[in-house]
Amino acid sequence: MTKKKDVLLKIRDLKIEGYSDETWVPIIKGVDLTLHRGEVMGLIGESGAGKSTIGAACMGYARDGTRIVDSTIEFDGMELTTASESDKRALRGSRIAYVAQSAAASFNPSHKLIDQHTEAPLQYRLKKRMEAQEDAMELYEKLRLPNPQEIGFRYPHQVSGGQLQRAMTAMAMSCRPDLIIFDEPTTALDVTTQIEVLSAIRDIVDEFNTAAIYITHDLAVVAQMADTIKVLLKGEEVEEAPTREMLENPQEDYTKSLWAVRGFKSPQRKRPTDGTPPLISVRNVDASYTGGEKVLDDVSFDIYPGMTVAVVGESGSGKSTTARVITGLLPPSKGEVLFKGEPFPPDYRNRTKDQLRQCQMIYQMADTALNPKVRISEIIGRPAAFYSGLKGAALKNRVDELLDLIELEPAQYYNRYPPELSGGQKQRIGIARALAAEPTFIVCDEVTSALDQLVAEGILRLLDRLQNELNLAYMFITHDLATVRSIADEVVVMQHGKVVEQGPKDEMFTPPHHPYTDLLLSSVPEMDPDWLTTLLEERGVDNVGDAASARIDPNDPKITGASA
Measured between alpha carbons, how far is 428 from 456 in angstroms, rounded to an integer?
11
Question: Least CB distance from residue 512 to other proteins, whole Å?
Answer: 38
Of 6 and 21, CB closest to other proteins: 21
Collapsing DSSP to helix, strand or coil, 81 comes out as: coil
Which secondary structure element, helix H or strand E, spans residue 203, and what is its range? helix 191-207
Question: Least CB distance from residue 56 to other proteins, whole Å?
Answer: 8
Of 154 and 334, CB closest to other proteins: 154
CA gyration radius for the chain? Answer: 26
On the CB side of 378, CA atoms within 13 Å amount to: 9
Of 295 and 359, CB closest to other proteins: 359
Of 142 and 433, CB closest to other proteins: 433
CB atoms within 10 A of CB 422: 12
Of 238 and 451, CB closest to other proteins: 451
Measured between alpha carbons, how far is 323 from 129 in angstroms, rounded to an integer?
52
Question: Least CB distance from residue 62 to other proteins, whole Å?
Answer: 11
Question: Least CB distance from residue 541 to other proteins, whole Å?
Answer: 28
Of 223 and 356, CB closest to other proteins: 356
Measured between alpha carbons, how far is 383 from 225 in angstroms, rounded to an integer?
48
Of 20 and 534, CB closest to other proteins: 20
Question: Least CB distance from residue 559 to other proteins, whole Å?
Answer: 31
Q: Contact 280/338 with Cβ under 8 angstroms?
A: yes
Of 6 and 354, CB closest to other proteins: 354
Question: Least CB distance from residue 353 to other proteins, whole Å?
Answer: 6
Q: Residue 43's beta-bridge partner residues?
A: 215, 230
Of 167 and 532, CB closest to other proteins: 167
Q: Where does residue 389 fall: left (phi above 0), alpha (psi -120 to 50 degrees), or beta otherwise? A: left
Of 106 and 543, CB closest to other proteins: 106
CB atoms within 10 A of CB 95: 18
Q: Which residues contact 32 (CB under 8 A, 6 or more apart)?
A: 11, 12, 13, 14, 237
Measured between alpha carbons, how far is 480 from 477 in angstroms, rounded to an integer?
9
The C-alpha angle with vertex 486 and arms to 508 and 459, in degrees rounded to 5, equals: 145
Contacting residues toward other proteins, per CB under 8 A: 19-20, 22, 56, 59, 61, 63-65, 89-94, 97-98, 100, 102, 105-111, 119-120, 123-124, 154-155, 157-158, 171, 327-329, 348, 351, 353, 356, 359-361, 363, 365, 368-374, 382-383, 386-387, 433, 437
Of 20 and 82, CB closest to other proteins: 20
Q: Contact 318/324 with Cβ under 8 angstroms?
A: no
Measured between alpha carbons, how far is 403 from 294 in angstroms, rounded to an integer?
41
At 270, give phi and psi (nearest 5°).
-110, 155
At 529, give phi and psi (nearest 5°).
-65, -15
On the CB side of 478, CA atoms within 13 Å amount to: 26
Question: Least CB distance from residue 4 to other proteins, whole Å?
Answer: 29
Integer distance in angstroms from the first to the last C-alpha of the chain? Answer: 50
Of 70 and 253, CB closest to other proteins: 70
Measured between alpha carbons, how far is 513 from 559 in angstroms, rounded to an integer?
8
Question: Least CB distance from residue 371 to other proteins, whole Å?
Answer: 4
Question: Least CB distance from residue 379 to other proteins, whole Å?
Answer: 8
**Of 165, 168, 167, which is closest to residue 150 (Cα–Cα)?**
167
Question: Least CB distance from residue 392 to other proteins, whole Å?
Answer: 19
Q: What share of the chain is helix, strand, coil (3-state, %, to 5)?
A: 40, 25, 35
Of 96 and 225, CB closest to other proteins: 96
Which secondary structure element, helix H or strand E, spans residue 383, and what is its range? helix 376-388
Question: Least CB distance from residue 50 to other proteins, whole Å?
Answer: 17
At 388, give phi and psi (nearest 5°).
-105, -5
Question: Least CB distance from residue 95 to other proteins, whole Å?
Answer: 9
Question: Least CB distance from residue 47 to other proteins, whole Å?
Answer: 18
Q: How far is CA 220 from the centre of its chain?
A: 12
**Of 211, 222, 233, which is closest to residue 30 (Cα–Cα)?**
233
Of 41 and 326, CB closest to other proteins: 326
Measured between alpha carbons, how far is 21 from 17 in angstroms, rounded to an integer?
13
At 405, give phi and psi (nearest 5°).
-60, -35
Question: Least CB distance from residue 216 to other proteins, whole Å?
Answer: 18
